[in-house]
Structures are given as structure tokens and as C-alpha cells.
Structure 1
């Protein structure tokens, strides 16, 4: 079964997605790379301003450490040969002969043409920031699946670990589910919980959960190829977007952070 991987490489997923590509290189027909600051989404200024208006300045470390700093580090440092964790995804794909495509609009004709030319049979969304239409999902014979660093049906939305840390009790986990036009609403294929830890940031939790998804994917992908995957329908609970200013203040009162100094070290280490 040939895979089209859709991703936005960031601190939250970079180690996991790089390991996934290295392990499944023979099965990956195409890697679609999204740019969080693409003009269609408002550019760097528009995207950042929108998040700041909603979440306030406490969200800024999360944005910088997740999206900006890792790319700068990758640009300035050359990873040694064979270092999967530190090799940027585009370079890793080039070394393995895996085609990549810049995805400005996942539902547009350019990506559809690239998908058709690749011969991919399954879409795998792994920290991807664009919503696929039913028509795009149906363009792959096996449809699509998504890696969501949250315990669905809880915490539907783009930053589930922030909302998980806001909840009482805190429940962290990762879900593999079917892609559907409604965000994070497809049938559940696999799920596992992860214990909380003192001082764990939302960004660090997301990184650990994306890594915890790898063995789940290794189990689910052969089941999909064999037609034996079991899907559990889930209730669709309220969508939880980027946190409000009040929610970020509540997170701080709990002594928790969206991102912190430990994440700076992780970003610099690669």
C-alpha cells in the first residue's frame, strides 16, 4: 500500500515524522509539506497576529518554539549522515528518493495532480494544518487517516495538549482515526494514553505523543492494507480551537505552560 504523507514539520512532530519516513521509506510515494505561514493562511504576520489576538502573549513561546526556532536550527546546522532525528524531512526524503511537494492548498488542483501522479493509495496526515474535503480524501483508494495527539473524542482541534493540561483530571493520549471532512471526527482506529509528568509542557507532551503514535501506525497500516482495520464511531464533542486569553491565564495558574525552557533545549538539540 503506497502512502502520501501530509505534514507540517515542527518541534511537536519532527522527531516522530522523521522516524516514520525512515522506517516506511519503501512505502511512501509522496510527502506533502505544508507551510504554516503560506500567503493563503495570512502569512507569518497574519497567522501570528491572529493567534496573539485570541490567546494573548502567553502563546508566543509556543509559536516560536514549535514553528520558528526548529527551522532556523535546521538551516544553520548540517546533520551528520545517517542521523535520522536531526536531518530535516525534505533532505531526508531527497536522500531516499521520495518525492516531495509544497502544499499550498491540499484541496487544489496542483496537489490533486501530484497525488494522482504518485500512485498513493492512502493519505496519512501527521501534524498537518489543512482540512481535507471529502473529494480529496476519496482521491486515495484507501482514504486517509490522521495522527491526533489527544484522546478523541476529547480535545478536537489544533492544540489538544494545551486543553488536556487545562482539564481536571489531566488526560493525555494519542489517537489514530479516519480522516473525515469534519475535523477530528472520523472513526477511531487506535488509541493509547500517556501519563502526565510534573512540569510537562503542552509542546513536550505533543512531541511525546506523536512518538507514541509510531507503534500504533505500525499496527494500523497493515490492517488497512488487508481490509481488516476495525473502526469505532465516536461522538463528536465540541471543537476546541487555540486557547483564549482566559484559558492561557488558567493554565498559568495551574503552574503549567504551553512551552518552556525545556522546549528551547529540545529545539536546539534537534
Structure 2
């Protein structure tokens, strides 16, 4: 039996909040410590994010699966619906709400930890076909990786593999790999290194959803029965009796 939905949603809220706090907080620290070197700032931000993501998957994975991403949750529901695995529509709604509100809370937390106003909407414009294409690629690659690991019985590698992918994608995508609608929305609430202008959010989210659709098509080709392993995304959740 899976853990109760409120308990899992709380884990998704906390995990996504801490992920965004890591992204935003490390961006603020990088800008302060290396004010004259944007490349070094990005490196510091990428390393901190990758390490934090791996640790958060280890922490919250046994409770909720550690999705922290509405696209991952939506694909989990879609692929698992016929096999009776993965999220139900009710789960998906709860996870998505928890992830989005958690992301906003994480951005506010990071701002407060660094002595900034709790909310200052970002003035950093991130728009253009090249950035949207990068988000399609980053999101599709992330989703395929997660489901490939689950279907091939290698979910234990997810903390390291997912963290490594996001850390690398900071550098091989022009958008620096947001790859997550909730994180994108949260990062609009901070006018810092990691921020994104609110008017740029819809384009990024649309590209991320397109990336999720591309991932579904790729998984149908390469892992046609990946829905059978939807309960193991990102990592397997424990049953109620196992987690006591």
C-alpha cells in the first residue's frame, strides 16, 4: 500500500521547495562570491544544484518518489494509467499543486536567507526560439532518463544520474536547463542570478510540456512497456508498513 496522499504531497512540497532554495540560494552566493566571472557563477550554481538534487531524491524518494516536477508526474500518470501503476489523477493534481507552491516557497526562503526582500519578481528576460528548443531537449532528456532507469531496474542510480544530468544540462543547453514548470514558476519570484521574468515563464513552460510529449514518444519507441515501472519513478515509494 502506498503512503497516504497528504503525506506524499507534503514530501513533494518540501522537496521542491528545498530544490528551488538550492538553485536560487547558490545563484545568489555565486553572484556575490564571483561577481566578475559569469562562467564561474554558473559552474558554482550547477554544482550546488546537482548535489542538492541528488540528496533530495535520497531524502524524499521513499515517501513520494521524489518527482519535484509536474512533467515527470504527468508522464508517470499517463504511462502508468493502463497498467494501474504510477499516479492517479487525484495524485497528479495534489503533486502538481504541492510542487508549484513548494517552488514559490523555496524562492522566498532563499531570498530571506540572503537578506533580500521575500518577493521581488525577476527582471531577467529569457525568451526566444533557441531557449525554448533547449527546454524541450532538457526536459525530454530528463524524463527519458528517469523512466529508462525505472524500467531497467536501476532506480537506485537515480539520485546520482538525475543530479549529473541536470548539472551537465546547465552547460549543454542555452537555457541552463530549467526542465521543470514548477521550478520555472518559482524562479520568477526572485530577481537574482537564477530568476526568470514572469512574462518569460509561459514560453518555458510550454516548451517543457512539449519536451514531456517528446519523451512519451521516445519511451514508446525505446521502452514500450515503461508504464509497468511507473511506481518506481523517480525512485520506488515505500509502503506504509515499510516506512514506519
More helix by share: 2
More strand by share: 1
Bigger Cα Rg: 1
TM-score class normalised by the smaller sequence:
0.3 to 0.5
Larger relative CO (CA 8 A, sep 6+): 1 or 2? 2
TM-score normalised by the chain length of structure 2: 0.33
TM-score normalised by the chain length of structure 1: 0.31
